[in-house]
């Protein structure tokens, strides 16, 4: 009975709290008048608008200048490769880079990683001779504008689902004589809950001015009452797929003296490969002087743990971890490729067993270059100032960078980057309270310990007094 009363009392208290809350929370949202909406939007925009950045927040800077010579007929783009010296002080993803013109205006730019990749260059075209009968072959012809259009693939979209339609793509220079470029199948199939769609067709690079696409219905598909595969041809886009090779940056490493170690439970050798700065690396080339050997090797990269201490972690390489050379082989560098790491030092370990240690003569690390691309400004805006070294900076995400095509329309002019130097206007952020007064934490803990000791002592005295009083009564 007592438990039921307590439950009812708690329920009544909960209901009283709910009824005291503004009931508007349970009603449908009601939009405020238009004037209030505008006022609220203005306030929100004022709060989220990015404040101007202070150059004093960046610890390092360098200059970016135009090269010597006449640039009147050159590209309207500038570029420069990010050197190792900049990697040493910038953020891992280079999102703290900022570029200012001589007049102080911020200059948008793009940071690109020049790894091997492909880019699509779509060709402008006009469509004619579209034919889509109720039954039979559907056809559309494209005519490209410009001189000597170059294309090697086309995307054909058609309506419908679950089909296998034959497509024939032909090219012509005059619209009369046609040469077959490719014959294949348009696919839109589902098998075991997996979709298979093919609407892109590749062929050898062609410069035909006209392109004719013919699509035949799937004889096994009936999408109409007449038992035919009825469909329409949608968008047809021709393009050129361009293979862009990687542009690596190679950095020589300083090889330390050999250190004896244990590898796979056997005697081995270990070397530190120092690049002088924390740089991206995804490929290592090592020259070995010995003429005949077969060794098992491993690779590690250096990082800094949560305690600020350097430590090495294993790097998974793509090639065999056995380096082997016979007397008849020509001396060549041993190559290791792996997922990109950012590290100043790599550690190479070899299992020697009962063999003579290897002699390393050189080591080189490489990775795709980081390229800074910007619009070339008036000569009066140079030299520009490139700032870096701000861990709190947000990525700028410039529109210029997002709209820049993968394959640049022209070869940029290579700018001249100066040496990195401390920013004279840099103002270090204030240190945390605990770092400015490291002794305070110990004083606070000591004070709390003394207070807790006093409380425990008072409680002990009270407990003893109560015990003694109870004993005297008995």
Q: Give DSSP secondary structure letters for 402-425.
A: HHS-SS-SSPPEE-EE---EE-TT
Report the range out of 73-77, 352-356, 435-439, 446-450 with the highest average pLDDT: 352-356
Dihedral of the CA atoms 241, 242, 243, 245 (nearest 10)? -160
> For 269-406, where are the alpha helices, taking DSSP H only?
399-403
Coil vs helix vs strand at 450: helix
Instruction: For strands 370-375 and 384-388, give the pairing.
Output: unpaired
- pTM value is 0.68
Res. 119 pLDDT band, cuts 50 70 90: confident
Residue at token pair 């390092």? 60
CB 194 within 8 A of CB 201: no
Dihedral of the CA atoms 319, 324, 327, 330 (nearest 10)? 20
> For 21-159, where are the alpha helices, taking DSSP H only?
34-48, 84-89
The residues with which 279 forms a beta bridge, in sequence order, are 343
Q: Which helix (H) or strand (E) holds 469?
A: helix 439-473
Start-end of CATH 2.60.120.260 domains in the chain: 120-244, 248-368
Question: Which segment of 48-57, 72-81, 337-346 scores lowest on mean pLDDT?
Answer: 48-57
Calpha distance 81→412 (Å, rounded): 12
Question: Which segment of 110-124, 126-140, 354-368, 423-437 scores lowest on mean pLDDT?
Answer: 423-437
Calpha distance 226→428 (Å, rounded): 79
**Fold for the domain defined by 120-244:** Jelly Rolls (2.60.120)
| Longest alpha-carbon distance in the chain | 124
Res. 28 pLDDT band, cuts 50 70 90: very low
Q: Give me the pLDDT at residue 226, please.
A: 65
CA 357 to chain centre: 40
Neighbours of 218 (CB within 10 A): 21
Query: What does the pLDDT average to over 395-405?
Result: 93
The residues with which 199 forms a beta bridge, in sequence order, are none
Residue whose C-alpha is closest to residue 396's, from 115, 102, 114, 107: 107
Q: Which two tokens stand for residue 7?
A: 């439950």
What percentage of the chain carries pLDDT values higher than 90?
60
Question: Which segment of 18-27, 56-65, 81-90 scores lowest on mean pLDDT?
Answer: 18-27
Q: Which two tokens stand for residue 183?
A: 């014959």
Q: Give me the pLDDT at residue 100, please.
A: 95
Q: CB neighbours of 348 closer than 8 A, spacing ≥ 6?
A: 270, 271, 273, 284, 286, 297, 298, 299, 360, 363
Res. 157 pLDDT band, cuts 50 70 90: very high
Q: What is the mean pLDDT of the chain?
A: 86
Res. 379 pLDDT band, cuts 50 70 90: confident
User: Which CATH architecture best describes the domain 248-368?
Assistant: Sandwich (2.60)
Q: Give me the pLDDT at residue 224, please.
A: 64
Per-residue b or e along 56-86, where b marks 16 or more CB atoms closer than 10 Å to that residue's CB:
ebbbbbbbbebeeeeeeebeebbbbebbebb
What percentage of the chain carries pLDDT values higher than 70?
88
Q: Give me the pLDDT at residue 98, please.
A: 96
CB 360 within 8 A of CB 254: no
Q: Give me the pLDDT at residue 230, please.
A: 86
**Residue 101 above 80 pLDDT?**
yes
Calpha distance 419→423 (Å, rounded): 12
Query: What does the pLDDT average to over 285-312?
Result: 93
The residues with which 30 forms a beta bridge, in sequence order, are none
């Amino acid at each position: 009975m007592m438990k039921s009363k307590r439950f009812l009392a708690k329920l009544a208290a909960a209901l009283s709290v709910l009824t005291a809350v503004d009931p508007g929370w349970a009603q449908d949202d009601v939009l405020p008048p238009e004037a209030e909406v505008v006022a609220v939007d203005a306030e929100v925009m004022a709060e989220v608008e990015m404040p101007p950045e202070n150059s004093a927040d960046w610890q390092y800077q360098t200059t970016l200048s135009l090269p010597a010579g006449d640039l009147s007929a050159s590209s309207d783009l500038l570029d420069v490769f990010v050197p190792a010296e900049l990697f040493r002080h910038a953020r891992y993803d280079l999102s703290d880079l900022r570029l200012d013109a001589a007049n102080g205006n911020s200059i948008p730019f793009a940071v690109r990683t020049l790894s091997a990749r492909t880019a699509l260059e779509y060709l402008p075209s006009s469509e004619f001779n579209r034919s889509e009968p109720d039954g039979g072959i559907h056809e559309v012809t494209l005519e490209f504008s410009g001189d000597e259009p170059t294309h090697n693939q086309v995307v054909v979209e058609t309506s419908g689902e679950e089909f296998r339609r034959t497509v024939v793509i032909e090219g012509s220079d005059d619209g009369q004589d046609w040469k077959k470029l490719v014959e294949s199948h348009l696919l839109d199939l589902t098998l075991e809950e997996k979709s298979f769609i093919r609407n892109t067709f590749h062929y050898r690079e062609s410069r035909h001015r006209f392109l004719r696409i013919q699509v035949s219905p799937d004889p096994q598909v009936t999408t109409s009452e007449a038992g035919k595969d009825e469909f329409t041809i949608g968008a047809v886009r021709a393009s050129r797929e361009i293979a862009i090779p990687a542009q690596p940056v190679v950095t020589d490493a300083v090889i330390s003296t050999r250190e004896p170690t244990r590898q796979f439970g056997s005697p081995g050798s270990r070397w530190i490969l120092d690049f002088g700065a924390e740089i991206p690396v995804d490929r290592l080339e090592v020259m070995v002087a010995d003429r005949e050997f077969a060794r098992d090797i491993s690779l590690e990269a250096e990082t800094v743990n949560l305690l600020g201490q350097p430590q090495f972690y294993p790097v998974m390489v793509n090639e065999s971890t056995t380096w082997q050379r016979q007397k008849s082989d020509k001396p060549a560098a041993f190559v290791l490729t792996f997922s990109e790491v950012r590290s100043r030092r790599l550690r190479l370990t070899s299992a020697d067993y009962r063999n003579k240690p290897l002699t390393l003569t050189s080591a080189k690390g490489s990775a795709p270059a980081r390229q800074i691309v910007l619009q070339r400004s008036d000569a009066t805006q140079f030299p520009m100032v490139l700032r870096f070294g701000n861990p709190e900076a947000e990525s700028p995400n410039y529109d210029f960078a997002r709209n820049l095509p993968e394959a640049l329309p022209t070869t940029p002019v290579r700018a001249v980057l100066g040496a990195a130097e401390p920013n004279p206007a840099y103002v270090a952020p204030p240190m945390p309270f605990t770092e400015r007064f490291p002794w305070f934490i110990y004083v606070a803990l000591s004070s709390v310990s003394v207070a807790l000791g006093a409380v425990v002592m008072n409680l002990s005295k009270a407990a003893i007094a109560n015990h003694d009083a109870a004993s005297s009564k008995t």
